[in-house]
Structure 1
Amino acid sequence: MAERDESIEIIQREMTAFARRARATAARMHPELSLVSFTLLSHLEYQGGCRATDLAAHYTLDKSTISRQVGALEKAGLVERRLDPTDHRVHVLHLTGRGIEVLGQVTAARRVAFRERLADWGGPDLERFAEYLLRYNQAAGESADEIE
């Protein structure tokens, strides 16, 4: 059991370092885009737009936190609200043309950085790493669902 505890401690420490590095890297890649902003824009792009309440639920964040983040993205001209065509009481968030452009720039820069960091990794190692990350995030998402 001690080996398992030691492994979990290493994972926790390394994931914390990864998160800190990700925040710092995001700030250097684009002055307007924090890691949270990048994440929200990426989700909006992937979903083709969604409601602010959907963002809050997906990321298990308080609605007021999402509201502040979305407000900043709107002010920067990266996101706009549109009426839902099927329910005019609902506003759906979408990337603006500028939002698509900025997200594309940051995504390309991040992809280059990841390719450089993982350049020495073989295909099987990359596949295993990707599989483990997917598995971890799926379990983390299920745990968050249980809390609600």
Structure 2
Amino acid sequence: MSVDDVLPALEQELAAMWRRARAAGRAAARELHPRLDPTAYPLVLLLFEAGPLRMSDLAAGLLLDKSTVTRQVDAAARLGLVERTTDPGDARARLVALTPAGRDRLTALLTERRTHWRAALASWDRDEVVALTRLLHKLGNTGIG
């Protein structure tokens, strides 16, 4: 059996996972703030993981155009989730960071999501979770998608 034999099944599983992930992302965005556009949820997550970023770095990290990210930052700022600050290393530059309220709300949401993941993967052993994580990372680095 060659890889070609299983590619259709792989594509179907990835498409189904993509639909479920998008639905989960929309739900998470609503939980974070009822008026948060779901497309801005990855932006908030990236700021949580990376800390304050320049707009250009935020756009690069999200693989989005800077104008799109600017609109998302503006909307998240109006909701009190993010703020623009002066870069301490370059007074001419601006950084985008989570507000304390944004960080608190996201921390609570991620804690709840991790509880959900623990329950969903309760029948998996640690090695299976590690293997899945490794394979997803490997797939993500192929440039497909």
Q: TM-score, normalised by structure 2?
A: 0.84
Identify which of 19, 22, 40 aligns with 2:43.
40
Identify which of 114, 123, 130 aligns with 1:127.
130
Indicate conservation of the 8 Å contact 1:22/1:35, yes or no.
Answer: no
Q: Aligned residues: percent identity?
A: 33
Identify which of 66, 72, 97 aligns with 1:69.
72
Indicate conservation of the 8 Å contact 1:79/1:95, yes or no.
Answer: yes
Identify which of 93, 96, 120 aligns with 1:93.
96
Unpaired segments ≥5 residues, structure 1 = none
Cα distance between partner residues in 2 of 1:59 and 1:6: 33
Give the superposed CA RMSD. 2.1
Q: Helix, strand or coil for the counterpart of 1:121?
A: coil
Cα distance between partner residues in 2 of 1:34 and 1:8: 33
Cα distance between partner residues in 2 of 1:40 and 1:5: 36
- Report the counterpart of residue 61 of structure 2 in structure 1: 58
Indicate how the Cα distance of structure 1 residues 102 and 124 shifts in structure 2: closer, same or farther if over 3 A, else same. Answer: same
Q: Kindly state the Cα deviation for residue 110 of structure 1 after the two structures are TM-superposed.
A: 1.6
Q: Kindly state the Cα deviation for residue 35 of structure 1 after the two structures are TM-superposed.
A: 4.7
- Report the counterpart of residue 8 of structure 2 in structure 1: 9
Deviations 1:89-124 (A, max 9, x none): 111011101110111122112212221221111222
Q: Kindly state the Cα deviation for residue 138 of structure 1 after the two structures are TM-superposed.
A: 2.6
Q: Kindly state the Cα deviation for residue 27 of structure 1 after the two structures are TM-superposed.
A: 3.1
Q: Kindly state the Cα deviation for residue 67 of structure 1 after the two structures are TM-superposed.
A: 1.2
Cα distance between partner residues in 1 of 2:97 and 2:8: 40
Q: Helix, strand or coil for the counterpart of 2:93?
A: strand
Unpaired segments ≥5 residues, structure 2 = none
The number of equivalent residue pairs is 141
